[in-house]
Chains A and B, each alone.
Chain A
Amino acid sequence: GAVVSQHPSRVICKSGTSVKIECRSLDFQATTMFWYRQFPKQSLMLMATSNEGSKATYEQGVEKDKFLINHASLTLSTLTVTSAHPEDSSFYICSARTSGGASETQYFGPGTRLLVL
């Protein structure tokens, strides 16, 4: 159980275009979803936290107008990278949790590799 999927797994786009990444919890309802960014050989950096039906909470330094997050249902969250630039190229990983409790395990998606040309 507790499977999280991401789509697409890999995307290449031109500079200036927007890219949408989907994150789905397949067999559980995720009240909270998280979006992370990972640069090569580095750890995960939390970008934002979203709860179903409410606005996402962004971490310091993350541009909310550039990284649009929508958590429209208990099984789907989307991250849209708007007006992408080469420096946005990275590995984006989402995770989902069933509740807000600190002891609850976060389940991670397989990640999306974004390359902006």
Chain B
Amino acid sequence: AQSVTQLDSQVPVFEEAPVELRCNYSSSVSVYLFWYVQYPNQGLQLLLKYLSGSTLVKGINGFEAEFNKSQTSFHLRKPSVHISDTAEYFCAVTYQSGGYNKLIFGAGTRLAVHP
């Protein structure tokens, strides 16, 4: 079964500092990987996704992620964070079950940006 591990439950960082949110997945087959952001009391918004091709994926709000097949990782990075980036970030991978393609989510990483 596929699984997603987000190694850090919370990441505190100062404004304008760089940040990396870590994500590892377990899968023996080709995967599609996603990062979503959730602001308080809201649904999820897609930040970026890796389907194929270039391993460096650029998303919205200045975020990017790098797919590393050998390390089964898909870490999310931003060179300079803003207060408004404070939110919950979820890494997700697709898997097939019961004939359907579904998303499985990591536990989430709370990014807290301080002034």
Instruction: Decide: A108 and B100 in contact? CB cutoff 8 A.
Output: no
- The answer to whether the Cβ of A105 comes within 8 Å of any Cβ in the partner chain is yes
Instruction: Decide: A100 and B44 in contact? CB cutoff 8 A.
Output: no
Interface of chain B, main secondary structure? strand
Instruction: Decide: B45 and A49 in contact? CB cutoff 8 A.
Output: no
- The answer to whether the Cβ of B41 comes within 8 Å of any Cβ in the partner chain is yes
Place the interface of chain B in its size category: 20 to 34
- Binary contact track B80-115/A, C-beta < 8 Å → 1, others 0: 000000000010001010101111111110100000
Instruction: Decide: A46 and B107 in contact? CB cutoff 8 A.
Output: no
- The answer to whether the Cβ of B56 comes within 8 Å of any Cβ in the partner chain is no
Instruction: Decide: A93 and B51 in contact? CB cutoff 8 A.
Output: no
Q: Complex formed: what's the CA distance from A57 to B45 in Å?
A: 24
Determine how close the nearest CB of chain B comes to the CB of A116; give it in whole angstroms. 18
Place the interface of chain A in its size category: 20 to 34
- The answer to whether the Cβ of A110 comes within 8 Å of any Cβ in the partner chain is yes
List CB contacts (< 8 Å) of B37-54 with chain A.
Answer: 41-46, 49, 51
Q: Complex formed: what's the CA distance from A89 to B106 in Å?
A: 22
Kindly list 16 other residue pairs between chains A and B, CB separation below 8 angstroms, not including A46-B103, A102-B94.
Answer: A6-B43, A41-B110, A43-B105, A43-B108, A46-B104, A57-B98, A93-B44, A95-B44, A95-B103, A102-B101, A104-B101, A105-B34, A108-B36, A108-B43, A111-B42, A113-B41
Mark B residues whose CB is within 8 Å of A.
32, 34, 36, 41-46, 49, 51, 90, 94, 96, 98, 100-108, 110
Enumerate the 3 nearest inter-chain pairs by beta-carbon distance, A residue then B residue, closest first: A102-B101, A108-B43, A108-B44
